[in-house]
Amino acid sequence: MRPLKMLQIGVGGYGAAWLRDFVPPVKARGLVETVAVCDIDGQALGEARDFLGLPETQCFTDAAQACRQADADFALISTPPWDHADHVAMAANAGMDVLCEKPIAASIEDTARIVRTARETGRRIAFTMTHRFDQAHSTLRREVHSGQYGALDYIAFRLTGELRRFASWGRFRHEMDDVMLVEAAIHHFDILRDLAGAAPASIFATSWNPPWGEFAGDSQVLAIMRFGNDVRASYESTACNAVSINEYFKGTIRAEFDKATLILDGGRLERMYYDPTGQEPVRRPGSGETVEPVVQDSFGNVWIIERFVQWLRGGEPMPTRLEETLQSQAMVFAALESARTGKQVDVRAIADWFGHLARP
Ligand SMILES: NC(=O)c1ccc[n+]([C@@H]2O[C@H](COP(=O)([O-])OP(=O)(O)OC[C@H]3O[C@@H](n4cnc5c(N)ncnc54)[C@H](O)[C@@H]3O)[C@@H](O)[C@H]2O)c1
């Protein structure tokens, strides 16, 4: 089978990592070939052109023109969140399937536009929930769903960061509204939903920016959520603490079961079993038994693009396809509403509304 032809829209910033790190191993396996690129930034575009050896005619500064003229099977979109709805519509209306960077979009209105685009064009659309499919979270998922630890009771997520100075987390994140919920929480809620093993039911969130945070939007979030199977989760995610306790955007996750506690921290997963004799002393994080990691050929974005290509070639639907990712995105919009109103919000009402829009 020939490689699928790809147009990449947005080749600077994280798009450069797609270009240089994530796509090449998939290209080497004969699955994908980048045939055209687009970016409004001439320097990023020139670097992409040189890296790929593309002719000028396949390098565009206008996404609409790129979608009309590029001879591609699908578009990879890595532009800022408020451009996603336009770029997904341009690509899908030009007959391309779409793999788009997370979040689905920055606003509920733009997310609804993407749902309508999918319905009207019938194109396959998926998102890059990178963290859920890295090695550490794949190992945690296998253990959580193994059934060997009894009933899952609740999950605690903690990510503390020090990124307070302007542009230390990329310029646009310091200028946008609700940076932590819109840009980061989508990854974390997606992981929590996957681990809980049920659709999200409700969420209460509070968000703010402390006086020392050089952010236009809220950089600190605390939240409590509940899933359809009554699993609960707590969520702490911050960019303006005095120090980063976590690696860059890799949270610590503690899953509490009837018969064991699992802790994922710094890429290492450990387990500690319930002692029915009650003789165990207090257990400190780090003192548990290391869980063997999942081993497979690829993880993260390389796995995602491989999986996307398999889907386009008639394989199993992508786990990060639009209709699935909408559940995680609905959690973000529910959290935003909760933070604004101070009330607990029903996530199902938002997810159901997206579901209603998706139906012909
Ligand atoms: N999956 C992950 O783990 C992960 C990590 C980082 C960023 N992201 C996502 O990737 C996306 C891009 O983020 P970033 O950090 O690379 O942003 P960025 O601002 O650093 O880069 C965006 C690129 O898109 C280009 N661009 C902007 N508007 C454009 C337009 N109208 N047409 C064509 N090109 C345009 C810019 O010139 C730039 O080269 C965001 O959605 C972000 O959330 C995901």
Ligand 1 pocket residue status of 91, Cβ below 6 Å: no
Query: At residue 249, does pLDDT exceed 80?
Result: no
Residue 273: what pLDDT?
96
Q: Quote the percentage of the chain above a pLDDT of 70.
A: 100
Q: Where is pLDDT greater, at 150 or 250?
A: 150
Residue from 7, 11, 14, 65 whose mutation best tests the ligand 1 pocket (most atoms within 8 A of CB):
14
pLDDT in tens, 47-103: 999 999 999 999 999 999 999 999 999 999 999 999 999 999 999 999 999 999 999
H-type helices in the chain, by residue range? 14-17, 23-28, 42-52, 63-69, 84-93, 108-121, 135-144, 171-175, 179, 185-196, 300-312, 322-341, 347-358
| CA end-to-end distance (rounded Å), the chain | 33
What's residue 279's pLDDT? 86
Ligand 1 pocket member 79 (CB < 6 A) = yes
Question: What domains appear along the chain, each with residue ranges and CATH number?
Answer: 4-127 (3.40.50.720), 134-290 (3.30.360.10)
Which SS3 state, helix, strand or coil, does residue 290 take? strand
pLDDT value of position 17: 98
The model's confidence at residue 301, banded by pLDDT at 50, 70 and 90, is: very high
Name which residue sits closest to atom 9 of ligand 1, judged by CA. Answer: 101
pLDDT of residue 248: 74
Instruction: Kindly give, in sequence order, each residue whose CB lies less than 8 Å from that of residue 218, ignoring residues fewer than 6 positions away.
Output: 177, 178, 179, 180, 181, 207, 208, 209, 339
Where does the pLDDT of residue 41 fall: very low under 50, low under 70, confident under 90, or very high at 90 and above? very high
> Could you tell me the strand order of the sheet in which 260-265 lies?
289-290, 268-273, 260-265, 252-257, 152-160, 232-238, 220-227, 200-208, 345-346
Distance (Å) from CA 237 to ligand 1 centroid? 22
pLDDT at position 145 is 98
Cβ neighbours for 105, distance < 8 A, ≥ 6 positions apart: 81, 82, 84, 85, 111, 113, 114, 329
Task: Indicate if ligand 1 lies below 6 Å from the C-beta of 288.
Answer: no
pLDDT tens-digit readout, 136-186 = 999 999 999 999 999 999 999 999 999 999 999 999 999 999 999 999 999
pLDDT of residue 281 exceeding 90: no
Q: Check whether 257 has a pLDDT greater than 80.
A: yes
pLDDT digits (tens, 9 = 90+) for 89-147: 999 999 999 999 999 999 999 999 999 999 999 999 999 999 999 999 999 999 999 99
Residues 6+ apart with CB under 8 A from 211: none
Percent of the chain with pLDDT over 90: 95
The pLDDT, as a whole number, for residue 360 is: 79
pLDDT-based confidence at 359, cuts 50/70/90? confident
Q: How confident is the model at residue 280 (pLDDT cuts 50, 70, 90)?
A: confident
Single-letter code of the amino acid located at 202: S
Sign of CA dihedral 151, 348, 307, 9: negative
Residue 46 C-alpha to ligand 1 middle, in angstroms?
16
Can you spell out the DSSP letters for 206-249? EEE--TT---SS--EEEEEEEETTS-EEEEEEESBSSS--SBTT
Contact 221, 204 (CB under 8 A): no
What's the gap in Å between 153 CA and the centre of ligand 1? 37
Q: Give the pLDDT of residue 225.
A: 98
Which residue's CA is the closest to the ligand 1 atom numbered 21?
A: 13
